[in-house]
Chains A and B, each alone.
Chain A
Amino acid sequence: MIPFVYLGSSIFFPYSDNWQHIIDNVLAEYFINSLSLAFGVGFLSFVFGTVTAWLTSIYDFPLRKIISWLLLMPLAMPAYIIAITYVGIIDNYNFLPDIRNLFGGIIMISLVVYPYVYILARGAFLEQSKELYENAQILGSSQLEIFLKISIPMARPAITLGVTLAAMEALADFGTVTFLGIPTFTTGIFRTWFGMNDTITATQMATLFLSIVFIFVFLEQNSRKKVRYSENIKTQSKLNFKKTSKKNSFFIILICLAPLLFGFIIPFFQLLYWSIFISNEIIDQSFFEIVKSTLFLALVASIVISLISVLVTYIKRLKPKSITNKFMQIITLGYAIPGPVIAIAVMIPLSSFDNFINQILLDNFNVSIGLLFSGTIFILIFAYCIRFLTVSSRTIKAGLESVSLSTDDAAKSLGANNLTMFLKIHFHLLKTPLLISFLVVFIDIMKELPLTAILRPFNFNTLSIKAFELASDERIADASSSAIMIVIAGIIPVIIITKNILGKRNKV
């Protein structure tokens, strides 16, 4: 909470001359670029995500099963890595259009975030009842009409959530826009902080940005409140996949393969090729050290975050009106907040706290313990919590919501207290969401760039920082070994998650 209070209070700090410069020269550009990025990515991932989700949940065509889970693969690919790869490719082939601009940025980010929309929309489409679909057919609707008039509106809550996640990812992006040279709010804050060395102005910009994000999130949550479709679960039967002609199958496969090809297959194999044949980076002891510290950091942080998520969602279920919830609503906005903003919000209060403790110890006991919180891995995990609690708690909340409230009442009426109820019932039902939440956070932390770069302890390196540093030095091929490690590590959780979700579907 303190970080946010600090950010909020920054509006009362004196405004430096730098503000005049920012307002006159760059603020409008930051603003327009950030917004265009968010809307562009939201729109493109909506198109990629819903079209592929619809095709794979309605039609039966060769390779459907394998394609429907391969479509999730781009999730393993961080946006800045795909951008690095494509810039590397384009540098080799001059006839390709340059992507070092806003439009390129939108495409790069969309190619890796559309799976959010895809997975949520597909889930919703598969849940839609056969009766509803057949009813529309009897009433004379064509496939396209059913898609536009029934399936999409029915799946609206899920699609909105997916698109919001995608747009937030774009808004909070740091690596891609920095690498492609697109000035956005996120990079602007970073530049003001470290380029102009003006922490206060950077904080004030962060606050301004945050207020805009809050408005968006508020609008999104309100729109979700109004729309609530529910179907009668009892009469629901699942849709059979529709047979298609060979010609149509060919087109469907082509459409589904497009985002997959550009979002995963091409960059993946390019990276693989570079890392094996071109890279001068030697795989040695220090490289393994980096791999080890990356995995360690991601592991610890994702366990901590998942546990906190369980705790807060559980409190929310037990006491829907408690203050913790209001607090949580603010904290869980973290996903929309760019890394540099969180970094500022966490760094400054924690380091003053550290200095304060140090001063006391120094004055009274004449010992110095150094920067206990802000100089260690603690601050990183703390910042990750703010950033990734949304993702984690949303998954766990969804899992917990699928357990009917009367289950809790039943357990209580049979004499169980909250702890027994959790251990005996909820924990078992939450295993899958917990695993998913853990893995999603794990991948996200492995990919994470700005927070890690700013807040890491001295001499602490991760794969993502390594890859980005090398790429920024125009050593794209050398960056590939770190990049490919991130991607490969990311693939494993994606496969587990997909198997888990698909496996469940098949059982039902």
Chain B
Amino acid sequence: MNKKIIISNLSLIFEEKNKILSNINLNIQDSEINCILGPSGCGKTTLLRAIAGFEDVSSGSILKDGVCITNSVENMPVANRNMGMVFQDYALFPNMDVKTNIEFGLKNHSDLEKENRVNYLLDLVNLPEHKNKFPHELSGGEQQRIALIRALAPSPDIILMDEPFSNIDQDIKEELVSDVRDLLKELSITSIIVTHDQNEAFNIADQVAIMNKGVIQQIGTPYDIYHKPANKFVAGFIGLGTFLPVRKVNDNSFEIPLGLLNNERIKNDLTKFENLEMLIRPDDIIHNDSSPKKAVILEKQFRGAEFLYKLLYNNEYSILCYAPSHHNHAIGDSIGIELDIKHYVIFER
């Protein structure tokens, strides 16, 4: 797979002390949807703006198609980068109608070409009837799609999106996310999407980069990031889960409070370290009424098809467990549980 963008050792230091980005290394794959995911204030938007050319960097470089577009000395002007950008507040020009907004980036086109391009793009997002409306007459979702096709209009190499779904109502968000994914895939355009919402990232991305405090924590597919988190931050940030201590029984066997660990690879790894703990996801625990191991229900959340139970095992360890919706137990009840771990995620305490 081609690397569309190569970011190496990129750092951005603000006013001497404040390190906003530190030593970022990230490859953006061609024609893929790349997500930068992290909590607010982690520097993800700054990274995106550095790629777009809005920020000057302190050190490191960004290469696009093998050409350096940003380093500490030079910063190719935004207009020359051939990137489209969608902003969190969409930034549609309020004084122009939809058509004029989309045409804005189309230079050196005849009127007919512009007209055709606008119509084509509006058809792509199923909004042809809004051509002559003004931004304030559109709903949030409509504005978002117009902002996207406005960015796509000049046929950019890459599309950058900054929290594109954060102002969208929950009920239409999922549909919109998958519509946008289909559109980006259909055009097979390289895209980088910044978000703080992991569900959004999982729904849309081919590759996810997790960021915290200006540092990239892990890069991988959504599946790998969920099941093989690289460090404790990622494990805690992505998905639900609790940590259980890992105890050395003897040189060859280890156990966690719920049972023995009998995976050869793990055994080899573990002998080198002490003071370990293991990530237990709610899907690692199976509710089974006949199991001899019992845990007390502390809290429960009804989620439609299933319950999420927060349990206390052995009066000491709290764990999470999904159970089918018809297994409706009361808080304080003891229920039977079993371990069913597919991915062993172990960190030093």
Residues of A near any B CB (own CB < 8 A): 234, 403-404, 406-407, 409-417, 424-425, 428-429
Residues of A within 8 A of B104 (CB): 411, 414, 416, 424
Q: How many inter-chain contacts with C-beta < 8 Å in the A-B complex?
A: 63
Contact A412 B78 (CB under 8 A): yes
Contact at A425–B78, with CB atoms within 8 Å?
Answer: no
Annotate B84-116 by CB proximity to A: 1 below 8 A, 0 otherwise: 110111011111100000001101000000000
B95 adjacent to A429 (CB under 8 Å): yes
Task: Name the contact of A407 in the complex, choosing from B54, B78, B91 (C-beta under 8 A).
Answer: B91
- Taking CB as reference atom, which chain B residue is nearest A234? B167
Chain B residue numbers with a CB within 8 Å of A429 are 94-95
Q: A417 and B87 in contact (CB under 8 A), knowing A409-B54, A428-B95? A: no
Contact among A234, A411, A413, A416 with B84 in the assembled complex (CB-CB below 8 Å): A413
With both beta carbons as reference points, the residue of chain B lying nearest to A427 in the complex is identified as: B95
What sequence of 0s and 1s flags, for each residue 173-203 of chain B, a beta carbon within 8 Å of any chain A beta carbon? 0000000000000000000000000000000
Contacts of B54 in A (CB 8 A): 409, 412
Contact of A406 with B79 in the complex, beta carbons under 8 Å? no
Taking a contact as CB atoms under 8 Å apart, the answer to whether A410 and B78 are in contact is no
- What's the interface size class on B, roughly? 20 to 34
A406 and B87 form a contact (CB under 8 A): yes
Contact A413 B85, CB 8 Å, known A234-B167, A424-B104: yes
Q: Give bound CA distance, A409 to B86, whole Å.
A: 10
Closest to A430 in B: B95
Is B69 among interface residues, defined by CB-CB distance under 8 A?
Answer: no
Distance (whole angstroms) from the CB of A445 to the closest CB of chain B: 30
Question: Are A415 and B94 within 8 A (Cβ)?
Answer: no
A404-B91, A407-B91, A410-B91 known; A415 and B107 CB under 8 Å?
Answer: yes
User: Is B337 an interface residue when CB atoms closer than 8 A count as contact?
Assistant: no
The contact sample of 14 A-B pairs, CB cut-off 8 A, is: A404-B89, A406-B88, A409-B78, A411-B104, A412-B78, A414-B84, A414-B105, A415-B107, A416-B79, A417-B79, A424-B93, A425-B96, A429-B94, A429-B95
Q: State A428–B101 Cα separation when bound (angstroms).
A: 14
Q: Are B91 and A406 within 8 A (Cβ)?
A: yes
Give CA–CA (A135, B153) in the complex, Å: 45
Q: Pick from A410, A412, A416 the residue with the most CB of B within 10 Å.
A: A410
Please report the C-alpha to C-alpha distance between residue A424 and residue B92 in the assembled complex, in whole angstroms: 13
Partner of A413, one of B52, B89, B95, B96: B52
Question: Contact between B154 and A415 (Cβ–Cβ < 8 Å)?
Answer: yes
The residue on A at minimum CB distance from B140 is: A234
Taking the nearest CB of chain B, how far is it from the CB of A503, in angstroms?
A: 16
Select one of A234, A412, A424, A425 contacting B79, CB under 8 A: A412
- A424 contacts which chain B residues (CB < 8 A)? 93, 96, 104
Q: Are A415 and B105 in contact (CB under 8 A)?
A: yes
Q: Mark B140-153, 1 if CB is under 8 A from A, else 0.
A: 00000001001101
Name the A residues within 8 Å of B88 (CB-CB).
Answer: 406
B83 CB-CB contact with A under 8 Å:
yes
Q: Are A410 and B95 in touch, CB under 8 angstroms? A: no
